[in-house]
Amino acid sequence: MSILIPVHTLGRRAGASMPLQKVIPAPADMGSDVLAVPEGSDMDLDLRIDSVTEGLYLSGDVTVDVKGVCVRCLDPLESEWTARVEELFLLPEAVQRAIDDGDEDAQEMFTTDGETLDIEGALRDAIVAELPFQPLCSADCQGLCPTCGIKLADAEPGHAHEVIDPRLAVLAQLLEEGEE
């Protein structure tokens, strides 16, 4: 899926600009396995597109609802998130100049033909970069008991299990037999 924005009204005049304020449905794969923007949910765009010598400059904010799980206790998470977008889209001749100048990354940059702007990649990069790698329900989340799986925040104080190192289990058994 692409998010195409018509920009032909800007022409190739450096200094021209246009606002882009709209709500669009979120594409798939906007996040990670533990925290993401649900596909089809609203993406509130408050952006501006400026014509510059090398192409078009996209800047502004995108606000989305994200859903996921806490990586410690697996409780569901849901919150509103705002990401800053700042991306340059190069015209084909600017890409060619960069390649001619030895820029090996030039072909990886966002491009525009001057008629439309596909902003999906720029939005994805901005949002995913802002999302936490390991989201938590709270900074002091205790997580789950590694032995029984109970949520430690719900467990009684001092919740613990006697765990015997399996390498020493034979010695523990000998001690028990010696006490009998």
Instruction: Quote the longest CA-to-CA distance of the chain.
Output: 94
CA 172 to chain centre: 49
In order along its 180 residues, the chain shows pLDDT tens digits of: 689 998 888 877 788 899 999 999 999 989 999 999 999 999 999 999 999 988 899 999 999 999 999 999 999 999 999 999 999 998 888 877 888 887 777 777 888 888 899 999 999 999 999 999 999 999 999 998 888 888 888 888 888 887 777 787 788 788 777 666
pTM over 0.85: no
**Closest C-alpha to 88, from 61, 134, 53:** 53
